[in-house]
Chain A
Amino acid sequence: MAKYLLLKHYRGAPTAVNDVPMDQWTPQEISAHMQYMRDFAARLEQTGEFVEGQALAPEGTFVRYDGEGNPPVTDGPFAETKDLIAGWMVIDVDSYERAVELAGELSAAPGAGGKPIHEWLELRPFLTEPPTITE
């Protein structure tokens, strides 16, 4: 019973084995990829392990407070940002081993040539509530 974030990067993760930009796939390959992601989420819902999944637009804005009375300052997007998140999936599983297993499955999503991308996914545990019994 632990939640993990599976983090997918546009940029910033180590290079995938089948590293071809999506715009160079065939339309069918793109559809197959999307279908794989949907099927994966549906399967996790069936196993009672799915919490949520979201995709993010590649371009965002940086925002910060600029002092009393001033509107927030915005900046970006920065083309050079090293770490760019593409989306995430949150799972609720019984063990770290199970989380790794699922991340491995998700990383096998098909890409160019219909072959698995072997994309690097980042697996991050959620911080939990503190246990009741501590001593």
Chain B
Amino acid sequence: MTAELDEALLRSLTPSVLGILVRRGVDFAAAEDAVQDALVEAVRVWPADPPRDPKGWLITVAWRRFLDTTRADVARRRREDLVDEEPAPGPAPTVDDTLQLYFLCAHPSLTPSSAVALTLRAVGGLTTRQIAHAYLVPEATMAQRISRAKRTVSGVRFDQPGDVATVLRVLYLVFNEGYSGDVDLAAEAIRLTRQLAAAIDHPEVAGLLALMLLHHARRATRTAPDGSLVPLAEQDRDRWDTTSIAEGVQILQTALARDRLGEFQAQAAIAALHADAPTADETDWVQIVEWYDELTRLTDSPVVRLNRAVAVGEADGPRAGLAALAALDDSLPRHTAVAAYLQERDGDLATAARLYVEAARKATNLAERDHLTRQAARLNARR
């Protein structure tokens, strides 16, 4: 009798199993390798022979794997003292272990791409091959990226407190820049953020989780069957995932009630206002502009100011939007695309068409480039 492998369960156990090995005195890099081997073994064995205690099974197999590797490694002979006998069970794994793993994998000494890769493997339990496929690089390259990342953090003490903000930036990257592959990175980012939210009580963690859920809810409507982008105003709102929206809104409200506002809560609030509008025309743009003002105070990011100009254009008319846009550096990504849109709304179709062409040339992603080219073509056909 073979059972379906519960990969989600398997991967959710990764951080605590890894935490236990580290608590037993195994260095992080070796522990991570051992746990990865145990996960691979589980994928092989569990379908035919599911363990009664999955976590205990993983701990035992990872520990043995570590012992085997260490014994085989002559250079590490001195470690024999440490590993010769089965250790006392040690302190029970705590929620803190999971949290420490997040901190370690998002350590500020890592580059963003290294932190992302290490988080997906050590916290997420994905294989190197899966991560390599997801980011469209060869497996050998991803393996090196991960092992370098592990070397980089090898001197970091496991119980050192970390900065939640760095972890959130990594999870945001996984969600926002998720490429296609056999791993659903957006869903994985949500899973990891949910797991983090269970390990630490922090309004910005909740804010990011809400933000992800609210955007994920629109996913099915963001692209047409042919892969082309569907702008927010044209999305079929009946197909938005109401369960995901309800959960996102509820998490956000609880976070906001604590009165410790941060950028992710503010971004989630904007997403919630869009989710709340039954039609695009009923969007509460005035409130959205207020949230952008809040976000500007929190981050002072030029991208936020650009998005604010779009919102001003909707709330107070395209002229007001163009005035807000005029105050911004025109080398900002998507600046020209926003100008084109506002010019079209203002009725200057010739200028809009010219700007759409220019914006398409500057686009950094294929779907957006094609979308902008289509906008230019649509206006040119009308004139």
Whether B211 and A130, one on each chain, are in contact in the complex, defined by CB atoms closer than 8 angstroms, is no
Contact residues of A between 57 and 112, Cβ < 8 Å to B: 92-94
Whether A51 and B366, one on each chain, are in contact in the complex, defined by CB atoms closer than 8 angstroms, is no
Whether A135 and B232, one on each chain, are in contact in the complex, defined by CB atoms closer than 8 angstroms, is yes
Q: Is B111 an interface residue (CB 8 A)?
A: yes
Segment at the A interface, from B10-18, B42-50, B119-127, B135-143: B135-143
Contact residues of B between 99 and 140, Cβ < 8 Å to A: 111-114, 116-117, 135-138, 140
List chain A residues, Cβ under 8 A from B180.
129
Whether A92 and B135, one on each chain, are in contact in the complex, defined by CB atoms closer than 8 angstroms, is yes
Whether B178 and A132, one on each chain, are in contact in the complex, defined by CB atoms closer than 8 angstroms, is yes
Q: Is B293 an interface residue (CB 8 A)?
A: no
Min CB–CB distance A2 → chain B (angstroms) = 9
Chain A: CB-nearest residue to B138: A51
Whether B114 and A131, one on each chain, are in contact in the complex, defined by CB atoms closer than 8 angstroms, is no
**Residue among A47, A93, A129, A132 having the largest count of chain B Cβ atoms under 10 Å:** A132
Whether A132 and B113, one on each chain, are in contact in the complex, defined by CB atoms closer than 8 angstroms, is no
List chain A residues, Cβ under 8 A from B176.
131-133
Interface residue tally on A, bucketed by range:
20 to 34
User: B148 touches which one: A44, A48, A125 (CB < 8 A)?
Assistant: A48
Whether A50 and B365, one on each chain, are in contact in the complex, defined by CB atoms closer than 8 angstroms, is no
Whether A50 and B141, one on each chain, are in contact in the complex, defined by CB atoms closer than 8 angstroms, is yes
List chain A residues, Cβ under 8 A from B364.
125, 127-128
Q: Is A49 an interface residue (CB 8 A)?
A: yes
User: B146 touches which one: A1, A44, A48 (CB < 8 A)?
Assistant: A48
Chain B: interface residue total (CB-CB under 8 A): 44
User: A52 touches which one: B113, B138, B175, B232 (CB < 8 A)?
Assistant: B138
Whether A133 and B211, one on each chain, are in contact in the complex, defined by CB atoms closer than 8 angstroms, is yes
List chain A residues, Cβ under 8 A from B219.
132
Assuming the contacts A127-B366, A130-B368, A135-B232, asked whether A94 and B146 have C-beta atoms less than 8 A apart, the reply is no
Assuming the contacts A132-B176, A132-B178, asked whether A94 and B310 have C-beta atoms less than 8 A apart, the reply is no
User: A1 touches which one: B113, B148, B367 (CB < 8 A)?
Assistant: B113
List chain B residues, Cβ under 8 A from A51.
136-138, 141
Q: How far is the CA of A119 from the CA of B140 in the complex (A)?
A: 29
Q: How far is the CA of A125 from the CA of B142 in the complex (A)?
A: 20
Whether A92 and B366, one on each chain, are in contact in the complex, defined by CB atoms closer than 8 angstroms, is no
Q: Is B315 an interface residue (CB 8 A)?
A: no
List chain B residues, Cβ under 8 A from A127.
363-366, 369
Whether B138 and A94, one on each chain, are in contact in the complex, defined by CB atoms closer than 8 angstroms, is no
Assuming the contacts A3-B136, A127-B369, asked whether A132 and B215 have C-beta atoms less than 8 A apart, the reply is yes
Whether A132 and B175, one on each chain, are in contact in the complex, defined by CB atoms closer than 8 angstroms, is yes
Q: Is A122 an interface residue (CB 8 A)?
A: no
Whether A135 and B307, one on each chain, are in contact in the complex, defined by CB atoms closer than 8 angstroms, is yes
List chain B residues, Cβ under 8 A from A128.
177, 179, 364-366
Chain A: CB-nearest residue to B218: A132
Whether B113 and A92, one on each chain, are in contact in the complex, defined by CB atoms closer than 8 angstroms, is yes
Q: Is A46 an interface residue (CB 8 A)?
A: yes
Whether B178 and A47, one on each chain, are in contact in the complex, defined by CB atoms closer than 8 angstroms, is no
Whether B267 and A50, one on each chain, are in contact in the complex, defined by CB atoms closer than 8 angstroms, is no
Assuming the contacts A45-B141, A92-B135, asked whether A129 and B270 have C-beta atoms less than 8 A apart, the reply is no
Q: Is B229 an interface residue (CB 8 A)?
A: yes
Chain B: CB-nearest residue to A129: B179
List chain B residues, Cβ under 8 A from A47.
144-145, 148
Q: How far is the CA of A47 from the CA of B136 in the complex (A)?
A: 16
Q: How far is the CA of A109 from the CA of B140 in the complex (A)?
A: 24
Q: Is B379 an interface residue (CB 8 A)?
A: no
Whether B137 and A92, one on each chain, are in contact in the complex, defined by CB atoms closer than 8 angstroms, is yes
For the complex with contacts A1-B177, A127-B365, 6 further pairs of A-B residues with Cβ separation under 8 Å are: A3-B136, A92-B135, A92-B136, A92-B141, A133-B267, A135-B270
Residues of A within 8 A of B (CB): 1, 3, 44-52, 92-94, 125, 127-135
16 chain-A/chain-B pairs, Cβ below 8 angstroms: A1-B116, A1-B173, A3-B136, A51-B141, A92-B137, A127-B366, A128-B365, A129-B365, A132-B175, A132-B219, A133-B175, A133-B211, A133-B267, A133-B271, A134-B232, A135-B307
Residues of B within 8 A of A (CB): 111-114, 116-117, 135-138, 140-142, 144-146, 148, 173, 175-180, 186, 211, 215-216, 219, 229, 232, 267, 270-271, 274, 307, 310, 363-369
